[in-house]
Structure 1
Amino acid sequence: MQFIRKRWNYLFRSTKGLVFVAIALISLETAVWGMLSGPMQEFGISDLVINALGMDIVPSQREGRIIMLYHTIAVSVVAIEVYLITDILPMKDHERRQINATMTFGYLLTLFFGMLFAYFGHNFVFHGLYLFGLSLSFFAGLLLVSALWPWKIEYCIKDPEMSRTSGGLDLERVAFFIMAIATLGSALFGAVTGSYWGNGHETFLAEDLIREPHKTVLQKSIIGHLHIMLTLIAIALTLIIGKWYRFQGIFQKIAMPLMITGIIVISFGAWSVVIF
């Protein structure tokens, strides 16, 4: 019993454990569903996996399955970044616990029930739990934004080697804060579009529209959502690596204002795809 409790605390209450679980689940999902790819179909491996696992595969629903697949992976990747952010940035312990717990529950619901709905029969209870998981992940993002609020006195810095204002405002923390807000806005951008699924909006993959000269507003919205979310995941990773390796000095002082400005510009640029 002591061993189980120790393992549980490590896997679900420590940063390393939480990251390990998320990476393991992503790896497992990638390994199994990678067997359904085109090359595997040519070797007959896909059929073996489908039959062995009892998957319900309808060719006409391919796009919908792929969309749910990469959403489950994307939310899991975001969860890893959230764990790292709560670990490397100063915040209250209860805030860290609330964010990590909410994010963990959210991405696990999204991953398991999303894949069950997409590949093992369309039980809409599973779809509802998948959406609930996405909602919890969004709420975890709101908690993160609150915890990252950079204008608190205790988060002001005096280190002359770090990018800051004359009043001590930590511009690196501001960059994390702006990135988190932009991510929530971009997720909401996709969610609003997704609410029209089956109500004037047909499922498609973004790469299928590359050569289409005319696109609907909903299609433009999905394309914008796709690109900005991937961009913000990369931005978050850049900020995490910089903080992890104690990026400082003149280049850090130049980089942080540019990072803040860049996040704002690229976010509005992706969102404006709908208009233009």
Structure 2
Amino acid sequence: MRSIADRFRYLFTSTRGLVLLAIGLVALVTAIWSSLSGPMVEWGVKDFVVRTLGMKLVEAEREGRIISLYHAIAFAVVAVLVYLMTHAIPMRVQQRANINATITAGYMLAMFSGLIFGYFGQNWVFHGLFLVGQGLIFWAGCMLAVALWPWGRSWRQPDPAYARTPGGVDLERVAFFVMTVSTLGSAALGGISGAFFGNGFQSFLAEDLVREPVKDLLQKAVIGHLHIMLTLICIATALLIGRWFDFRGILHKIAMPLMILGTAVITLGAWSVVATPHAHTIIYVGSVFVMLAALFLVIYGWGRLIREGTAGSRRPTFGQKLAALLRDPLRFGSLWQMVYMNFVVSGVGIFMAVKLDEIFRVWPHREERIALTGHWHSLSALTATILLCYFADMMGLQGRARRWFGWVLILASDVAFAGATLFAIKRLFVTEYGQQVMVNWLMLAIDFGLGAVLVALALFLIWRLADLFRRNGRWAAEADEEVVQR
């Protein structure tokens, strides 16, 4: 008979349990804190939540609260990526256990302490614990970098189908290593600025400073930090999806050097924000390399789905190929979201950069602020949907539930992101005085799309929670499977 201790062991030591716990906490935080904005304010939900939970929302502290919330969610997402990497990439068992234990303690301590400090009164003990949690996360990243060291003989790539050097160094492992080291340096960039809070440096939101003609070095460091951290999360996600699809062949051999070079160039570009006004030019160059690598992954992945789905046909028709491509919404969707990202995030961002002085700086500051905020939120949420596709497959979602979850996740989120993008650039189409009808429909699309995604995720998590209470549920088999693999 399985005990309560077995269930806790599953949640805190197995990869599936750790990821499930982190995603569950992110979903819980998102559900509660999303009630503090948007239509929830007009409906009175915000006041009810604030009174019930005893939150202390001082207007002068708003920026600091939002920063605490963003970091609380980001810590859990980084932990999820680390769990998936330690699961997917060969390393010593003790290294995997140490990394997972350290980052679990770190993100949970930082998440809860940061939210308590930001939203329930400024008790500085919790701020200290918030910093301790971040320190543990950083140390887990250092251990991950050591574990990913790609030049050891134990991790040479013997298969010529994968990208490798003439000496057998696995270039995909190099890409993971470069991304991890870049993340550590970029986290330190933000930490340096954070160390000066209260000493002549105050909390601010980056979108509020875009039109300030003069920014000090610490403000520039924060701007560079938030840009590169989100970019590196996207890169880590793309590399993990590549392992999920067993990315190989000529496209893999081209993509991995591009990903390594692009990651390094983007990181240096983001860091150089503090030193040169031409930093974005460097970032654009690095982005081209990374986006090309992602394109090659999409081409390979979709080609594989089509080949697997039409294996029984000698000359498959276009309809058969399309059906094979769309047969599994989770695998198709993880790659489709990368393509869709170019329409609602990357393409719009490039257009804004090219036409910044000609169009966007002519708008009222509020409109440019909306565009920037929507840009960052869409990118992070799209990346989250890709990770959810990967995770749902890992958790064994099958049959009709798999199809429903996958298609709701993809279609509903894409409707929401399309609405958010059009809302951000609405001034290109309508005047301020004639915008209301368009705004009403776009807000409906955003609320409906995101609501459907949250409902689908909630049902998925409830299914797994109910399974956890079963005597010999899926969780027990997954825990036993992981023990055998180790």
TM range (shorter): over 0.9
What whole-Å deviation, never above 9, does each CA across 1:79-108 have from its counterpart, x for those lacking one? 000000000000000000000000000000
Which secondary structure does the structure 2 equivalent of 1:31 belong to?
helix
TM-superposed deviation, 1:212: 2.1
Residue 43 of structure 1 pairs with residue 33 of structure 2: no
Query: How far 1:219 moved relative to its partner?
Result: 1.2
Greater mean deviation of Cα atoms: 120-129 or 95-104 = 120-129
Q: CA deviation at 1:40?
A: 1.3
The percent of aligned pairs where both chains have the same amino acid is 58
Deviation sequence 1:31-59 (CA, Å, 0-9, x none): 00001013211211111100000011101
Structure 2 residue aligned with 1:147: 147
Distance (whole Å) between structure 2 residues aligned to residue 61 and residue 139 of structure 1: 30
Report the residue type matching 1:98 in the other structure. N
- Counterpart-to-counterpart distance in 2, 1:58 and 1:158: 59
SS at match of 1:83: helix
User: 1:195 and 1:12 mapped to 2: Cα distance?
Assistant: 31
Q: Partner of 1:125 in structure 2?
A: 125
Aligned to 1:101: 101
1:233 aligned partner, one-letter code? I
Partner of 1:67: 67
> CA offset at residue 211 of structure 1?
2.1
**Which one-letter code corresponds to 2:117 in the other structure?**
F
AA partner of residue 230 (structure 2): L
Residue by residue over 1:187-237, the C-alpha shift from the partner in whole angstroms, topping out at 9 and shown as x without a partner, is 000000111111121211011112223222111111000000000000000
Question: Within 1, Cα distance between the matches of 2:244 and 2:135?
Answer: 29
What is the DSSP-based 3-state SS (H/G/I as helix, E as strand, rest coil) of the residue aligned with 2:162?
coil
Partner AA of 2:164 in structure 1 = R
Alpha-carbon distance in structure 1 between the residues aligned to 2:36 and 2:45: 8
Distance 2:22 2:32 in 1: 16
Residue 87 (str. 1) matches residue 87 (str. 2): yes
Q: Report the counterpart of residue 262 of structure 2 in structure 1.
A: 262
- Using the alignment, how far apart are the partners of 1:196 and 1:113 within structure 2? 20
More RCO (CA 8 Å, sep 6+): 1
Mapped to 2, the partners of 1:195 and 1:105 lie a distance apart of 22
Deviations 1:5-51 (A, max 9, x none): 22112111110000000000000000000010132112111111000
Distance in 1 (CA, whole Å) between partners of 2:154 and 2:45 is 57
2:3 is the counterpart of 1:3: yes
**1:196 aligned counterpart, secondary structure:** coil
Are 1:26 and 2:26 an aligned pair? yes
Tell me which residue corresponds to 2:251. 251
Aligned residue-pair number:
276
Are residues 1:184 and 2:184 paired? yes
Query: Using the alignment, how far apart are the partners of 1:91 and 1:158 within structure 2?
Result: 16
- Following superposition, the deviation at residue 3 of structure 1 comes to 2.1
Q: Where in structure 2 are the equivalents of 1:198-213 lying within 5 Å? A: 198-213=198-213
SS of match in other structure, 1:158 = coil
**Residue 219 of structure 2 corresponds to which residue in structure 1?**
219
Q: Whose radius of gyration is greater, 1 or 2?
A: 2
The letter of the residue matching 1:41 is: V
Aligned partners of 2:196, 2:155: CA distance in 1, in Å?
42
In structure 1, list runs of 5 or more residues that go unmatched: none
Q: Which residue of 2 aligns with 1:237?
A: 237
Partner amino acid, structure 2, of 1:156: R
Structure 1 equivalent of residue 16 of structure 2: 16
Question: How far apart, in 2, do the equivalents of 1:149 and 1:196 lie?
Answer: 33
Stretches of structure 2 lacking an aligned partner (at least 5 in a row): 277-486
Structure 1 residue 251: Cα displacement: 0.5
Cα distance in 2 for residues equivalent to 1:245 and 1:211 = 43
Q: For residues 51-75 of structure 1, give each alpha carbon's deviation from its aligned partner in whole angstroms, at most 9, with x where no partner exists.
A: 0000111011000000010001001
Q: What code does the residue aligned with 2:58 have? A: V
Measure the CA separation in 1 of the matches of 2:26 and 2:255: 32
SS of residue paired to 1:221: helix
Distance in structure 2 (CA, Å) of the matches to 1:195 and 1:38: 32
Counterpart-to-counterpart distance in 2, 1:54 and 1:249 = 57
**Structure 2 counterpart of 1:76:** 76
What is the alpha-carbon distance in structure 2 between the residues aligned to residue 222 and residue 113 of structure 1? Answer: 21
The TM-score normalised by the length of structure 2 is: 0.56
Q: Which amino acid aligns with 1:215?
A: K
Pick which of 59-68 and 198-207 moved more.
Answer: 198-207
C-alpha distance in 2 between matches for 1:79 and 1:129: 18
AA in 1 matched with 2:167: G
